[in-house]
Chains A and B, each alone.
Chain A
Amino acid sequence: MTFNFDVSYLPQLAGGLVVTLEVTSCCIAIGIVLGILLALGRVYGGRFISIPCSIYIHFFRGTPLLVQLFIVYFGLPNWGIRLSAFASGILALGLNTAAYQAEYFRGAIQAVKAGQMVAARSLGLTRLQAIRHVVLPQALRLVIPPWSNELILMLKYSSIVFSIALYDLMGVGKRIASRHFNYFEVFIVLALLYLALVLLITLGLRWVERRLRVPGLGTAGRGA
């Protein structure tokens, strides 16, 4: 039995890889910004801010990602909002991951000792300054390990954008496989490519975590 895979597929796959990386990084970026805002809203917002944030989070965590993607791509045009496949993809994935990231950020913010905020306020820092200069720098360090999981998940989930005709790694792979009838070989290669990306991300984030590590904060004691 031969492994029916031709190196001539590689340029196409490389193109797909670029799309996958673009979709993942864009949706993660949306998710970080929106996720931090949602988390701050839940922790520090009064009832009128924190409840809407909770509803958002429950909605996006409680419904399938694919359904959300289809609402954005196939549903919004009925309301006159017509987005490209790429824009739809990063919007749906970004809104979704924001909800999950918000919960990680919230946990990390709440893990920062209350006395830190009080001490900052006692110096005369405003609440926003205290959040920005004291709470978030600690919370963002604490969040890296759990947050890494979300990044890895999003890299893998980004493959669903093939269903809205985006030629990411998955989309390109499916096109090649259906043309040459070598699903097994092509998808094994795809799987290995995803695996390699996940490993790279894992190593990269570990490096970041070590670089930003501060003694006495969270996992800092580990192995020290």
Chain B
Amino acid sequence: MDPLLRVEDIHKRYGTEEVLRGVSFQLDRGQTKVVIGPSGTGKSTLLRCINRLTAPDRGQVWLEDVEVTAPRAKINEIRSQIGFVFQDFNLFTHLTALDNVRLGLVKVKRMGKREATTRAMEELTRVGLKDKAGAYPAHLSGGQQQRVSIARALAMDPKLILFDEPTSALDPELIGEVLNVMAQLAEDGMTMIVVTHEMGFARSVADEIVFMEHGVIVEQGPPEKLFRSPEVARTGEFLRKISELYGAEE
């Protein structure tokens, strides 16, 4: 079967700094890829290049048989098929949880209000926030906000979801509820790319871990292999250090 997503030789430069220096990988349907690496190595930029929130300087991104990076690509339609979950949630401040989830359905998918409400409530229920539908983001905890933002992404029926350090802005006691939702999604067969430092999550949920540094992929492979017998010394070194910090106990 063809991969769902193909990323080929992506380059991105900010001024004199080359953040991405030729990144390529593929992602199959239903796979979860976790991207790890020191901060400032272009992980977030890579995610943003996939749905062109940031325009790559060079390289191609293919979603199934559609070239996302083509100049004439219908980018808004493509974006509606790629969920994006941000580090700091970015819920629409002026809208309730329900309206946050509904906005894309009504404005992008042109869904009727009734149908959109039903659909949005389904996803809010799925992330365990049915009873918070009427709450504004300011009245939700960080963990709840992030779960609403996952519901907002899910409601669009995306082909894949990109998570950009979804738990980095959360208080430690709120991280679990978000990771649980994400683990459940992976189990349900959602295709996901997750940039995270949560090694426990990476180890138990990822089909494949990608280790990035200085704008390139250093090594990628199944979690067991990377954790137990990495091919590159630097991978093992990073994993040991980060596991001490964040914990990767099974």
Q: Could you list which residues of chain A lie within 8 angstroms of chain B, going by C-beta atoms? A: 113, 115-116, 118-126, 129, 133-134, 137-138, 141, 214-217, 220
Contacts and interface: CB of A to CB of B under 8 A. Distances in A.
B92 A116 contact: yes
8 contacts: A119-B84, A119-B90, A123-B80, A123-B104, A125-B104, A126-B76, A129-B108, A214-B93
Nearest to B85: A122
A116 B90 contact: yes
A215 B139 contact: yes
A215 B136 contact: yes
Contacts of B136: 214-216
Contacts of B42: none
Given A116-B90, A116-B92, A214-B93, A123 B79 contact: yes
A181 to B, nearest CB: 56
Contacts of A123: 79-80, 103-104, 108, 152, 156
B103 A118 contact: no
5 closest A-B pairs by beta carbon, nearest first, are: A216-B138, A124-B80, A119-B90, A123-B104, A122-B84
A205 to B, nearest CB: 18
Contact of A122 (B53, B93, B94, B139): B53
B51 interface: yes
Contacts of B83: 122
Given A118-B53, A119-B86, A122-B53, A138 B152 contact: no
Given A122-B83, A123-B104, 8 more contacts: A115-B86, A115-B90, A116-B93, A121-B79, A122-B79, A124-B80, A129-B107, A133-B103
A91 B149 CA distance: 46
Contacts of A138: 93-94
Contacts, number: 78
Question: Chain B interface residue count: which class?
Answer: 20 to 34
Interface in B69-96: 76-84, 86, 88, 90-94
Q: Which applies to chain A's interface (DSSP): helix, strand, loop or mixed?
A: helix
A217 B149 CA distance: 18
B93 A217 contact: yes
A118 to B, nearest CB: 6
B223 interface: no
Interface of B: 51, 53, 76-84, 86, 88, 90-94, 103-104, 107-108, 136-139, 149, 152, 156
Given A116-B93, A216-B93, A216-B138, A124 B104 contact: yes
B92 A120 contact: yes
Interface centre among B83, B90, B94, by most chain A C-beta atoms within 10 angstroms, is B94
A220 B138 contact: yes
Contacts of B92: 116, 119-120, 134
Contacts of B81: 124
Contacts of A129: 107-108
B79 to A, nearest CB: 4
B94 A141 contact: yes
A116 B90 CA distance: 6
Nearest to B83: A122
A220 B82 CA distance: 33
B53 A124 contact: no
Contacts of A141: 94
Contacts of A120: 92, 103
Nearest to B136: A215
A222 to B, nearest CB: 13
A217 B86 CA distance: 19
Contacts of B51: 122
